[in-house]
Amino acid sequence: MSQPTASRRYLTTPIYYASGEPHIGHAYTTFLADALARYHRQAGGDVFFLTGTDEHGQKIQEEARRRGIAPMELCDAMAERFQEAWGDLGISYDRFIRTTEPEHQAVVQAFVQRLMDRGYIYDAEYEGWYSVHEERFFTEKELGPNRTDPIAGRPVERIREKNYFFRMSAFQDDLIQHIQENPEWIFPEKRRNEVLGFLQNPLSDLSISRPRSRLAWGIPLPFDEEHVTYVWVDALINYLTASGAIDPGKPPEQQGFDDVEGSWWPADLHLIGKDILTTHAVYWPTLLMGAGLPLPRRILAHGWWVVGETKMSKSLGNVVDPLALQGEFGSDAVRWFLLREMPTGEDASYTPERFLTRYEELANVLGNLSSRVTSMVARYQNGRIPSEVNGRGLENQITTALDQVHTSMHSLRVNEALAAAMELARAANGYVETEEPWSLARQDGKEDELAETLASLLRSLLLLAALLLPVMPGKMKELVSSLGLSQVPTIEEAQRLPLHQLAVEKAPPLFPRIED
């Protein structure tokens, strides 16, 4: 697999459908992308982090009609809602894209025209079972005996109409070969195996249009104004639009399809939920092959959040609002819970009890360490570590934590990286109990040993702030402000920053304990 240079990373979330409010599922994907983006920035990388809203299609058209407003009015309101939510939750995206933007619409039309010019689009009559909710056709085999869509279990309807089709079947063997030759292209491995299993059956061609007589809210095909682009094709192309690779204002030979040099394409990582794996790991790469463009370098398909034992679903009324949790516990605690609790790629359960357990971990381990170390340095050293002190008492634990965090983040196991950082905090708390700085402070002749002990603890605290910045940026800034720093250092800076330059004050509680 071609690997990106260490200095450039293009990370994407799915663009979220603008027919409903942000919920904990949206928040998890976005927090995960944000943590990876912040981590690579911490390592000195040049990062481009994309998110946004998907604003075309039948669901938007019908939801707007239900509310008695124009589709664009609904899209404007929901895009603003998502941007406000990501602002409240501290998401550090570089670009928020909307599929109603003129630039995106022009790129979509250039893309489908490219497929047409290369002979990969044809028109035909089609009859099949269509799900309005999923905005796609399903085969009899996919529907099963109950004749409901296999994703959300919703009813389908029989539709016969003229569509334009992309010759997706022409790229089945190429896609299988790509997946087999690049075993890490889809993460985790079981999702890769699911895609390979799907590709064991003949791949159908993909309907890429809907007649305007049935669906007016979409991007018209450049070669037939009576059809709009299928919303999934429209949505997937957003990654390309934001990359800057395609300039539809230029002549076809200069649009970028034959040379993406200087743009952000290909994406280094698409982060998605497992329910949209097929569209990203089958539809999207074959469309790119048809256009003659490089494939994204990696796809991460994470699991679902369940409430207790039930999948979180708007229709079931059990969707958890991340902003409600943020209002009570702060956004960093919400970020910590979601990224610490879900093993990357697996399902995870939200319950109030599990949330409080993870919050108490922050309060009792990291918060406790912060309070103890800053209090003792302020009290016993007047907030200053002597310049000749090295602070190497926890060197082995720090080295282990750094190795584990770097390995886990690069292998996309973010929850394991956070566990490794928390293990360092536990080791530092254990070091306090073993070395007993308060006892050393009462003994004559123990001044050097006391300074060395506190310096070791301070170094671990500084490293923890750098390691945990990607998941808790607000709280880590609070922590280092108690050390006399205006911003959180990079991981490299935290390892070599002279401790005598810090001016330490007793830190207020980072995570106040919850009494009830």
- pLDDT of 221-243, one tens digit each? 999 999 999 999 999 999 999 99
Q: Which tokens is 200 given?
A: 């064991």
Provide the CA 84 distance to its chain's centre, in angstroms: 17
H helix runs in 69-101, sequence order: 71-88
Strands 299-302 and 186-187: parallel
Provide the CA 171 distance to its chain's centre, in angstroms: 28
Top-level CATH class of 352-501? mainly alpha
- Least Cα distance to 105 among 235, 251, 258 occurs for 235
* Residues making up the chain, counted from first to last: 516
DSSP tally for the chain: helices H, then strands E: 21, 17
- φ and ψ at residue 164, rounded to 5 degrees: -100, 140
CB distance 454 to 425 below 8 Å = no
Domain assignments of the chain as residue spans, ordered by start: 8-302, 352-501
- Number of Cβ within a 10 Å radius of residue 328: 9
Round to whole Å and give the CA distance between 176 and 48: 29
Residue 306: enclosing H or E segment and its boundaries?
strand 305-307
Q: 361-415, pLDDT tens digit by residue?
A: 999 999 999 999 999 999 999 999 998 888 899 999 999 999 999 999 999 999 9
CATH superfamily to which 8-302 belongs: HUPs (3.40.50.620)
Round to whole Å and give the CA distance between 57 and 219: 9
Round to whole Å and give the CA distance between 269 and 389: 43
- Least Cα distance to 304 among 347, 357, 252 occurs for 347
Q: 156-213, pLDDT tens digit by residue?
A: 888 888 899 999 999 999 999 999 999 999 999 999 999 999 999 999 999 999 999 8
> Residue 516 above 70 pLDDT?
no
Please tell me if the domain spanning 8-302 has the same topology as the one spanning 352-501: no
